[in-house]
Amino acid sequence: MSMSPLRLPHFGVDLASGGLVVLVLWLTVPTADNVLHFIQMGLALVALTGAVMRRRAPWVGFTLSVASTAIAWPLGLTVDPFLLAGLGLYSIARAKGNRAFSPFLLIFTLLVLGILAIAATPGLETSVRSALFSAIILTGSWAYGVHVRRGEKLTIEISALRERTRLARDVHDVLSHSLGMIGVRAGIAAHIHTMDEQALREILTEIESASREAIAELGFLLKEIRQDDPEDALSAPLDLLLRETAASAERAGIDVSMDAKDVNLLPVRVRMTVHRIVREAVTNVIRHSDATRCAVSVSADDDVVMLAVSDNGRGITLKAPEGHGLRGIRERIALLGGTIEIRNRGNEGLELHAQLPLDPRTRETLT
């Protein structure tokens, strides 16, 4: 059976550490004759084999190591305090252990080691001391294996939670803008009874365009989720996407000034973040601010991307809870190590200022 390349480093580590234990705690123990020496060598080889097998077959590896060490102890062929067996027990606990402290394991370990200590007399006091040390090794190996298992499970749970949060944020970003614009335009069409047929057709065309845009962006989002590669996630240059966002606000009756400089060569994750932050901020202006003007500014230098969105609307009340949109903006900026400042000017509107640092390895893309 061939060993995969990923297993080779682990195999080497186990072989080296196990070989060191055999060399120091087995082969340095003198034997009375050649027969015992050959038995010592054979048992040491079995124990070492068990240590090397612990990753692929933990139970087999542990059984080989603990059995060979238990046989060698009464014969005076080793002073190994079950270190090699402890490696196998650690692997078992890491794979299947749920409780850090197992009373059954402790009782079983003390019982077996007590019998071995008595069998290894003379020098009962030394044997008992070694047995207690071995019990500590084995129970500690089990407890540490359970601890590592719990840590790995917690890491997986945290990763899953972060992924769910990211998906919720992305879906909100994709849908809130288009659905918000559709709601505004549909509301206008529903409440203006004197609208002529041509104007109504224009609104319906805008609604159709917004719905198609939402479907297309959901497609990009699903593609990104499947392949975890954001390189194709932006379908157009960033400045064009920003101007399309501004156009959606203008169709809702808001005068938008857009200033975007040096943004198309930003790293792809920064471009995606800037696009979604601006889109969410403009969506909030359309849906909540009652503003007539909105200003968007995005610029970049060698070190940082600076972003600002402001409006002349009604601002936000101090007691109003922060919605999913602003929360999503904060999360996206925090993921890139950036900063955000929201200035509430009351009846004079709201200002959002953000800075996103650029990784030094990507600065050359701006030159």
Q: Assess whether pLDDT exceeds 60 at residue 310.
A: yes
Q: Per the domain annotation, does 173 fall within a domain? A: no
pLDDT, average across residues 362-367? 42
Per-residue confidence (pLDDT) for residue 8, from 0 to 100: 58
Among 156, 191, 211, residue at a domain's last position? 156
For the chain, give the percent of residues with pLDDT over 70: 74
* Beta bridge partners of residue 343, listed in sequence order: 351
Residues 152, 52 share a domain: yes
Q: Assess whether pLDDT exceeds 50 at residue 149.
A: yes
- Which domain, by its residues, includes 57? 7-156
Residues 135, 258 share a domain: no
pLDDT, average across residues 114-140? 69
What type of residue is 275? Answer: H
Residues 284, 150 share a domain: no
Lowest model confidence (mean pLDDT) among 229-233, 257-261, 328-332:
229-233
Say which DSSP state 336 is in: T
Measured in degrees and rounded to the nearest 5, phi and psi for residue 326 equal -65, -40
Per-residue confidence (pLDDT) for residue 116, from 0 to 100: 59
pLDDT, average across residues 311-328? 72
Q: Per the domain annotation, does 2 fall within a domain? A: no
Per-residue confidence (pLDDT) for residue 118, from 0 to 100: 58
Among 156, 188, 220, residue at a domain's last position? 156
Residues 34, 143 share a domain: yes
Among 122, 156, 190, residue at a domain's last position? 156
Q: Assess whether pLDDT exceeds 50 at residue 274.
A: yes
Q: Per the domain annotation, does 182 fall within a domain? A: no
**What angle, rounded to 10 degrees, do the helices at 58-72 and 34-52 form?**
160
Lowest model confidence (mean pLDDT) among 230-244, 246-260, 283-297, 347-361:
230-244
pTM for the model stands at 0.51
Per-residue confidence (pLDDT) for residue 97, from 0 to 100: 75
Taking CA atoms, 121 is separated from 37, 117, 118, 199, in Å, by: 20, 7, 6, 103
Residues 150, 242 share a domain: no
94 against 43, higher pLDDT: 43
Residues 251, 149 share a domain: no
Q: Is 97 left (phi over 0), alpha (psi -120 to 50) or beta?
A: beta
Residue 136 pLDDT class (50, 70, 90 cuts) = confident
For the chain, give the percent of residues with pLDDT over 90: 26
Residues 257, 149 share a domain: no
Residues 248, 124 share a domain: no
Residues 150, 11 share a domain: yes
Q: Assess whether pLDDT exceeds 90 at residue 176.
A: no
- Total domain count, the chain: 2
Residues 105, 243 share a domain: no
Residues 256, 146 share a domain: no
The CATH number linked to 243 is 3.30.565.10
Residues 148, 271 share a domain: no
Residues 323/237, Cβ–Cβ less than 8 Å? no
Q: Assess whether pLDDT exceeds 50 at residue 78.
A: yes
Q: Assess whether pLDDT exceeds 50 at residue 218.
A: yes
The dihedral sign for the CA sequence 181, 186, 187, 193: positive
Q: Per the domain annotation, does 230 fall within a domain? A: no
Q: Per the domain annotation, does 110 fall within a domain? A: yes
**What angle, rounded to 10 degrees, do the helices at 7-25 and 83-96 form?**
150
Residue 230 pLDDT class (50, 70, 90 cuts) = very low
